[in-house]
Chains A and B, each alone.
Chain A
Amino acid sequence: MNIASTFELMLAAVVLGLGIWTIAVHETYSAAVGFVAYGLLVALIWVRLDAVDVALTEAAISGGLGGVLLLGAAARLRHAELMVAEVPDRLTRVSAAVLSVMTAAALVGAVLWLPDSAPTLAPEVVANAWATSLTNPVTNVLMAFRAMDTMLEKVVLLLAIIGVWSLAPDTAWGGRPGPRHRADPNGVLVFLARLLPPAGIAIAVYILWTGANHPGGAFQGGAILAAMWLLAVMAGLTDTPAVGRRWLRLILVAGPALFLVVGLGGLWFGTAFLAYPTAQAKPLIVVIEVAMIQTIAATLGLLLTGAPERSAKP
């Protein structure tokens, strides 16, 4: 047992223990904290497995944004915790346990019976990188070979936002999500909220740019931008925009709309939907990613602030 595998075992043990604690703990606040810690540690695992793009997304989404989403839900449910919770009867609990054990056994079997050289398309992805002249294979797959999936995912994000907005009460329709945050203007929180976002924006743009040839991309950059924007909101430096505003809705549709336009252009001028001419592949992809990072940042930020609570009219 060499040092490397000892370290891997330790990492796995810590993550598992943390996961079990997160599920078992009683207070929802503690569970949200455990979830964030768990997400940050799983990013370590991804780096160990040499999947750095996934590690970036894991750190950004489940480490930061997902945990805060759960925290907001826990805060809204705070009063509900005081009510007596319904405990399911014994038959339900036993059936749930049996179902969970069977699912776990199926997963274990599937992993153990994987063929020794797993079927993979990775060599072909690398071999076809000449089509876009980008060297990051993940970006190639996301933005060129399976660009249709990426475009449809952005549409799914849009549908999620519409779903969240539809929860607004009638008086707050088209209004501002979340409460108006307030903080001491000479305090520590405002200091951090003034100092960190510029660095965060620079890092987000860097991660977007470096995604062409190294791990990175629009989604991770957009998540960082959303976190920086929410930091400013939480410090009371800026208020959430009213969701009825036209410019906000334009930003939200800009990403998938541009994707669609480029795709139709491929159909009109080229060979197929979303086909890029080889010479213009990289500029087209960059333009789409710039539109997408804004859409993703706005969408993720708005998903976290929730349904409109305050009316847009003063």
Chain B
Amino acid sequence: MSLARDMITLVAVSAGAFFFLAGTIGLLRFPDTLTRLHALTKADNLGLGLVVLGLLPQAASVRDALKLISVWLLALLAGATVSQLIARAAREARTTR
């Protein structure tokens, strides 16, 4: 049982780290603000989600596991709305330039 839990953690956290890597490469390589924003938010939301998924089996109690999930949900909500706002600001800055 403990081996299965450790396997889940290993796989999920590695996948999450891979998405962080993909997002960072996107940040470095993409040409303008809007595409970089896309890379940042998509990869970070998925990266964080997979990391949370990987840490769930290691959580000490149900309460800790629920807290982990609520952290991820908060980050999802925040990421979605803030990236919308940043994208509009970027589009506005481009059209008035």
Contacts and interface: CB of A to CB of B under 8 A. Distances in A.
Direct A–B touching, Cβ under 8 Å: yes
Contacts of A188: 81, 84-85, 88
Interface in B57-97: 74, 77-78, 81-82, 84-85, 88
Interface in A199-214: 199
B57 to A, nearest CB: 21
Interface in B23-74: 74
Contacts of A189: 81, 85
A122 interface: no
Interface in A168-205: 188-189, 191-192, 195-196, 199
Q: How large is the interface on B (under 10, 10 to 19, 20 to 34, 35 or more residues)?
A: under 10
Contacts of A195: 77
A62 to B, nearest CB: 19
Contacts of B74: 199
B77 A196 contact: yes
Contacts of B82: 192
B87 to A, nearest CB: 10
Contacts of A196: 77-78
Contacts of B81: 188-189, 191-192
6 contacts: A188-B84, A188-B88, A192-B78, A192-B81, A192-B82, A196-B78
Given A188-B81, A189-B81, A189-B85, 9 more contacts: A188-B85, A188-B88, A191-B81, A192-B77, A192-B78, A192-B81, A192-B82, A196-B77, A196-B78
Interface of B: 74, 77-78, 81-82, 84-85, 88
